[in-house]
Structure 1
Amino acid sequence: MITHNLGYPRIGAHRELKKANEAYWAGKINATELEQTARSIRLNNWYLQKDAGIDIIPCNDFSFYDHVLDTCLMTGAIPARYHELLVDKQLSQLDLQFAMARGYQKEGLDVTAMEMTKWFDTNYHYIVPEFAANQQFSLFSEKVITQYHEAKRAGFQAKPVLLGPVSFLLLGKEKEKGFHRLQLLGKLLPVYLEVLSKLNDLDAHYIQFDEPCLSLNLNKVEQDAITKAYTTFQQAFPHMHFILASYFECYGENLQTALNLPVQTLHLDLVRCPSQLDDILATDIKHKKLRLSLGVVDGRNIWKNDYDKSLALIQKAQQALGADRLLLAPSCSLLHVPCDLDLETDEASLPATIKSWMAFAKQKLDEVKTLADLSTDNPSVNALQDLKDNQAAMESRRTSPLIHRPAVTARAAAVTDTDARRATPFLQRKQAQQAVLRLPKFPTTTIGSFPQTPAVRSWRNKWKKGELTPAEYDALIKEETAASIRWQEEIGMDVLVHGEFERNDMVEYFGEQLEGFVFTRYGWVQSYGSRCVKPPVIFGDVSRKDAMTVYYTRYAQSLTNRPVKGMLTGPVTILQWSFVRNDQPRAATCLQIALAIRDEVSDLEAAGIKVIQIDEPALREGLPLRKENWEKYLYHAVRAFKVASSGVQDKTQIHTHMCYAEFNDIFESIAALDADVITIETSRSQNELLEGFASFQYPNDIGPGVYDIHSPRIPAEEEMVDLMEKAMTVIPADQLWVNPDCGLKTRDWPETKAAVAAMVAAAKTLRNKVPA
């Protein structure tokens, strides 16, 4: 069988791209040096895949920031507000790309960034395309052509990867009313045809089109658009081999459309949906020429492949179609997993036993090749030994006493409906909370974190290395915390935060203190742009050992008479942003985490903390792609949050935070969380989300983010007042809070202080405009 890969991590095994991007943004390196780093990463990735025995290697899976943004540039879908940068400032394509992703604020120009949201049910964020009714498309960026030529020149049989035209349109948004973005397909296809023509001139044979929207519930118009696009491509280039890839779910009711497309190979995610192989083999596929790409190696998680299970699927397909009609691959791009398990040599953080159950991107390539070898009539000696080793690893994990803790599962089984419900309704709680907190109209707060400066990060590293004593480290963190409290008081913040200077990542920090987690040193994955995260690994039953956040929160509260928020990450987000064990239902693991967070909430309340925020930015991210599976997920997700948050008195105010996702279709579940205050991202989308909250008549308090913290630009006070006034047209003023979009950890102090001070000033202006 031919082996291929859908995509490889673009950040580099040591986050070389992140470091180079940030150095370029800071003016420390030039564009040539940045491109040298990028070229080195691409070449290394191609050689690594070739050495692993992968037959068809992807190209154009590399991006400086985001592949959807790259498609905007390829097709010339550049919003009008950036045209001045192109014409007057003559920005390079590289700088234009970064301006579209991050905003641009210099030399008298102030241009906002494009909206950003989650890539299906992952923690990867993509830049949302913007479309107008009179949208014009033209080939602007030839990155896909230059990267194919680069790979070919280096001697690789490369396969250009393109985001399919229909998914590109569906992933975007109309920026004016009166049309649907799919109506633009006829204008868009000529650009794709031009790209294919240029690739054809370079003798490209395999072309991978990603149409992940085929995993969603598509209507007839959307299905017909898919058919139109690929019929157009095949008629124009009948000798090209088109691999059409969807992933993260079944094709569902789109299956017949997918099977009838004039493409040569159809990719199946058999990790998320192994049952679809039977569905396909039950059709008339045996009488067609269509090939199947079997995605049997998990591209989303870090657990070693179970060879016996994969071989059963492969053999079933072989018996029906023959090996010559099959390709073997990971389930999706390996963008979502770390680069190389071989780098993990610290047994203190990742014990050898647990490491033996795992595989990162490099190792997953080996799994694909080994499975292809084992599927032949005469497997090699090495492949047969790998099979024995794999079977031993599966048995070791299944029987390991490290995983199962009866007391944890018994406690989860004993949870009742009363445990998942606040004692009284919101309006009654709000009165009790106001009597204690005495907050003004339009109360101000931030989402939790303040800048993690190089100094702060160095303290943590030195403490972990033993270069700072615990007492020295504690004194430094307290000094930084005290300074942040003084500054918040000076500018007039209403509900303060301690700044989270002692924390690394919002999930990793908690995972380090919970049973059932282990950690990697080099397990980085891209979240967005240069932002990389290192997800914890949940390998077994989860419980809390000791209080995790009380110490520094109580210290911060001791410094001020104003309320200081206790800051926690919610159970769904801890689950979603970790690599989760796959030997029990995710809902069971989520409830275990919820009980651990419930214990922490109780301890914070007992320590005198009157406001507690339980962040759930990943609630929407975890939603299954197919609507028929939503109800079950939302029931368990909402229940987990309520278990975590409901063990408090009426006077204790519970906040939650959500960002960078589409919430309009799950308002009932968001309301069911029954958080006293929800803060959400709305600034990039210009408060678009609030219209949905208003239509739903959201009952509790809400803080629409008034400025985008993922952009370095500093918004003016007037801009924030304007956003809040827009919010007041759809949400009653007495329900509104004023806050940023998200935490401020990734920003620096000068821009943070300027933006937050402007935000507090905006709230004061609003209070003068709107009488109490």
Structure 2
Amino acid sequence: MKTLLPTSTAGSLPKPSWLAEPERLWSPWRLDGIELVAGKQDALRVALQEQRSAGLDIVSDGEQTRQHFVTTFIESLSGVDFEKRETVRIRNRYDASVPTVVGPVSRQKSVFVDDAKFMRQQTDQPIKWALPGPMTMVDTLYDDYYKNRNTLAWEFAKALNEEARELEAAGVDIIQFDEPAFNVFFEEVNEWGIACLERAIEGLKCETAVHICYGYGIKANTDWKKTLGTEWRQYEETFPSLQKSNIDIISLECHNGRVPFEVLELVRGKKVMVGAIDVATDTIETPEEVAATLRHALKYVDADKLYPCTNCGMAPLSRELARGKMRALSEGAEIVRKELTA
């Protein structure tokens, strides 16, 4: 029987302290060589166990084998020079030193497929795997070759599709594309962003998701949120187009934000991963707070299409905090499940 309100995280979980520096986003590895390979596999086991213990229904790798949610995938592609760096404005929010596209971009080898095969051996639960979306990849580089965001995104979409097909073959049930850039470049999203995403999912039979949030709980993001006014209506710009797309699931931020719940009506008919856990706070939600967010969302999302989730990844949090938040998510969903089936 299919689980009602299946729970999951949006993506990353904190890494164990022996693998990377805790509570720091994108921190360097503390191991190398064979030890790093073994350490990543151990971290995958730990992340899986913590999700199971919290009672989550759909599990992920917690991004334990990657340093960065975008550049770890890009590192495996040809045409990108990581030594040649330029400073660019990321998502119109903050400056970062990024690698440069210097030639034709293509995927040379699989990136996460061995990790996915390893994880499939560890669990019978549905697995969700996150990949960076084409537009967000474009926004995390300096392009000195194509000099056209759409053209570069299209090449990334082809590479992502190759990876996604292999992940599906490895036993992944849901492939999620992270597109925080969809909350910034609205015209481009509608002109070519969604089309590139559809190229990335071409031929897949597993479920597909796009995760669009307001970012990790880091200062650059929280400062940006303060400029967005009393209501965050960014989703209104892109949801009508996404509703018509072939993407199965829309993943978005709800709890503790200023997103009006009625925007969910714009994707009626799609499955929706409703962010019911705030990743930008050190307070653990109560199960009742989670339940309240889900009840509110149920006014606009059919119960069989609502997937309780976190707002974003939890990599910068402590492991204890992430565990508590996952437990709250699971227990809050259970409250609403009982109400729906009573």
Normalising by the residue count of structure 1, what TM-score does the alignment of the two structures yield? 0.39
SS at match of 1:703: strand
Residue 286 (structure 2) aligned to one of 710, 716, 737: 716
Which residue of 697, 700, 705 corresponds with 2:275?
705
Matched, 1:673 2:245: yes
Deviations 1:568-600 (A, max 9, x none): 111111112222337532211110000000000
Q: How far has the Cα of 1:532 moved from its partner? A: 8.0
CA contact (8 A) 1:507 1:578 kept: no
Equivalent residue number for residue 4 of structure 2: 441
The 1:457/1:523 distance shift into structure 2, 3 A limit, reads: farther
Matched, 1:494 2:60: no
Residue 46 (structure 2) pairs with residue 483 (structure 1): yes
Q: Which residue of 2 aligns with 1:642?
A: 198
Encode CA deviations 1:428-447: one digit per residue, 9 max, x unaligned: xxxxxxxxxx5411110111
User: Given the alignment, which residue of 302, 315, 334 partners 1:732?
Assistant: 302
Equivalence for 1:619: 182
2:74 maps to a residue whose letter is G
For 1:692, the equivalent position in structure 2 comes to 263
Give the structure 2 partner of residue 516 of structure 1: 79
Residue pair 2:54, 2:323 contacting (<8 A) in 1 also: no
Residue 692 of structure 1 aligns with an amino acid whose one-letter code is V
| Same amino acid, percent of matched pairs | 24
- The CA deviation string for residues 234-271 of structure 1, in whole angstroms up to 9 with x for no partner, is xxxxxxxxxxxxxxxxxxxxxxxxxxxxxxxxxxxxxx
Please give the alpha-carbon distance, in whole angstroms, between the structure 1 residues aligned to 2:83 and 2:282: 30
Counterpart of 1:451 in structure 2: which amino acid? P
SS in 1 for 2:37: helix
Q: Distance in 2 between matches of 1:562 and 1:760?
A: 15
Q: Residue 175 of structure 2: SS of its match in structure 1?
A: strand
- CA separation of 1:502/1:648 partners in 2, compared to 1, >3 Å: closer, same or farther? same
Letter in 2 for 1:597: L
| TM alignment of 1:531-610, pairs within 5 A | 534-581=97-144, 583-610=146-173
Gaps of 5+ in 1: 1-437, 624-629
Measured at CA, do residues 524 and 766 of structure 1 come closer, stay the same or move farther in structure 2, by a change above 3 Å? farther
1:717 positional shift: 1.2
What one-letter code is carried by the residue in structure 2 that aligns with 1:540?
A: G
- Structure 1 counterpart of 2:242, one-letter code: I
Matching residue of 1:657: 211
Q: CA deviation at 1:520?
A: 4.9
Name 2:331's counterpart in structure 1: 761
Correspondences of 1:336-485 after superposition (within 5 Å): 439-457=2-20, 461-463=29-31, 468=32, 470-485=33-48
CA shift digits 1:471-515 (9 cap, x unpaired): 211111111111111222222211100111221111111111111
CA distance in 2, matches of 1:538, 1:613: 24
**Count of equivalent residues:** 318
Contact 2:240 2:267 in 1 (8 A): no
Q: Which runs of 5+ in 2 are unaligned?
A: 22-26, 215-231
Closer, same or farther in 2 for the Cα pair 1:563/1:633, shift >3 Å?
A: closer
Alpha-carbon offset, residue 526 of structure 1: 8.3
Residues 612-650 of structure 1: CA distance to partner in whole angstroms, max 9, x if unpaired?
A: 112222123223xxxxxx3x762321111001012212x
- For 2:11 and 2:180, how far apart are their aligned partners in 1? 13
RMSD (CA atoms): 2.6
CA distance in 1, matches of 2:135, 2:85: 24
Distance 2:340 2:189 in 1: 41
Secondary structure of the structure 1 residue equivalent to 2:251: strand
Query: Secondary structure of the equivalent of 2:208?
Result: strand
* Pair 607,718 (structure 1): closer, same or farther in 2 beyond 3 Å: same
8 Å Cα contact 1:450/1:745 also seen in 2: yes
Cα 1:534–1:684 shift into 2, 3 Å: farther
1:554 CA drift (Å): 1.5
- CA separation in 2, counterparts of 1:480 and 1:583? 38
**Residues 708 and 740 of structure 1 are in contact (CA less than 8 Å); yes or no, is this contact kept in structure 2?**
yes
AA of the residue aligned to 2:296: K
Secondary structure of 1:566's aligned partner = strand
CA-to-aligned-CA distance 1:174-220 (integer Å, 9 cap, x gap): xxxxxxxxxxxxxxxxxxxxxxxxxxxxxxxxxxxxxxxxxxxxxxx
1:256-301 Cα offsets, whole Å, 9 max, x none, are: xxxxxxxxxxxxxxxxxxxxxxxxxxxxxxxxxxxxxxxxxxxxxx
Does the aligned pair in 2 maintain the 1:520–1:534 contact within 8 Å?
A: no
- Which letter does structure 2 place at the counterpart of 1:700? K
Distance 1:559 1:666, change over 3 A: same
**1:605 offset after TM fit, Å?**
1.2
CA distance in 2, matches of 1:639, 1:511: 20
Give the match's secondary structure for 1:656.
Answer: strand
Conserved? CA contact 1:515–1:542, under 8 Å: yes
Give distance in 2, aligned partners of 1:616 and 1:653. 17
**In structure 1, what is the Cα distance between the partners aligned to 2:85 and 2:102?**
18
Rate the CA distance shift 1:736–1:511 in 2: closer, same or farther, 3 A. same
> In structure 2, the residue corresponding to 1:455 is in which secondary structure?
coil
| Cα distance change on mapping 1:590 and 1:526 into 2, 3 Å | closer
Distance 1:444 1:481, change over 3 A: same
> Higher helix fraction: Structure 1 or Structure 2?
1
Instruction: Note the C-alpha offset of 1:551.
Output: 1.1
What per-residue deviation string (whole Å, max 9, x for no partner) do you get for residues 151-171 of structure 1?
Answer: xxxxxxxxxxxxxxxxxxxxx
Letter in 2 for 1:682: C
- 2:315 is aligned, of 742, 745, 748, to 745
Change over 3 Å in CA distance of 1:534–1:511 after alignment to 2:
farther
Residue 568 of structure 1 contacts residue 614 of structure 1 at CA under 8 Å; is this kept in 2?
yes
- Contact conserved, 1:460 with 1:502, CA < 8 A, in 2? no
Alignment-mate amino acid for residue 580 of structure 1: D
The alpha-carbon deviation at position 697 of structure 1 amounts to 5.0
- Structure 1 residues 697 and 548: CA distance shift in structure 2, 3 A: closer
Pair 635,523 (structure 1): closer, same or farther in 2 beyond 3 Å: closer
Please give the per-residue CA displacement for 1:353-406, whole angstroms capped at 9, x wherever unaligned.
xxxxxxxxxxxxxxxxxxxxxxxxxxxxxxxxxxxxxxxxxxxxxxxxxxxxxx
Note the C-alpha offset of 1:671. 1.7
Q: Deviations over 1:663-713 (max 9, x none)?
A: 11222222233221111012232551x31221x353210012112102222
Q: Secondary structure at the match of 1:619?
A: helix
Task: Assess if the C-alpha contact under 8 Å between 1:515 and 1:543 holds in 2.
Answer: yes
